[in-house]
Amino acid sequence: MPSAAVLEQKKQAVAALAEDLKNSCAGVIVNYSGISVADDTKLRKELREAGVKYSVVKNTLLKLAAKEAELEIPEEVLNGTTAIATSADDYVAAARILSKYADTSKTFEVKSGYLDKEIISLEKIASLAKLPSREILLATVCNAFNAPISAFARAIQAIVDKGGADAALAQAAPAAEEAPAEASAEA
């Protein structure tokens, strides 16, 4: 039977892991076997820079924490060596980084993942991994919004270059005066 101190440490570990699961929008569970220390250090650094929390966990502690966080992790996922990567605000970072590493490794593999407290398939994780980073997506959206404004600015500049706004208004004014005169002559 474990001592009271060990039992308390495990309870604290479960509570901390459950809190991570509750506060995260996405997570990926991996089998980290066969990874070298140098590769693990490099992988952890890349995850940390992306704002992803990565930790090796015992399967029983993950099962208890998932239950507390109301996340139903399949039983077959909780076998072998297990690590979990959670992200509080980026849905794709963990999937992108870990899938990229799993593609180059023979033993490291993605076991499961979740989005907004819902378990997702390995196919969805692979799809998430193919998405560009958040910064690139935001830049793409900004460029899409910026394109019409840029076109409008170029059109205004073209008018100014042709003789200015006064010339454009002067050309429009006689045409506007002729139209009512023609309409009254026909009546």
Q: How confident is the model at residue 55, as a pLDDT?
A: 92
CB-CB neighbours of 67 under 10 Å = 13
- Measure the CA angle with vertex 88, ends 47 and 66; round to 5°: 95
Fold of the domain spanning 4-131 = Alpha-Beta Plaits (3.30.70)
How far is the CA of 167 from the CAs of 84, 155, 170, 179, in angstroms? 67, 15, 5, 19
- Domains of the chain, residue spans: 4-131, 132-187
Tokens of 45: 């650094």
Q: State residue 4's pLDDT score.
A: 85
Whether residue 109 contacts residue 62, with contact meaning beta carbons closer than 8 Å, is answered with no
What pLDDT score does 149 carry? 77
The structure's pTM equals: 0.69
Per-residue pLDDT of the chain (187 residues; tens, 9 = 90+): 678 888 888 889 889 999 998 989 899 999 988 888 999 999 999 999 989 999 999 999 999 999 998 888 888 888 989 999 999 888 888 999 999 999 988 889 999 999 888 888 888 888 888 887 777 877 887 877 777 777 777 777 877 777 655 555 555 555 445 545 444 545 4
Q: Which two tokens stand for residue 117?
A: 């407290």
The edge-to-edge listing of strands for the beta sheet with 82-87 is: 52-57, 82-87, 26-31, 109-115, 118-120
Q: Which residues of 14-44 are buried (b: 16+ CB within 10 A; e: fewer)?
A: beebbebbeebebbbbbbbeebeeeebeebe
Cross-strand bridge partners of residue 30: 83, 110
Residue 105: per-residue pLDDT: 86
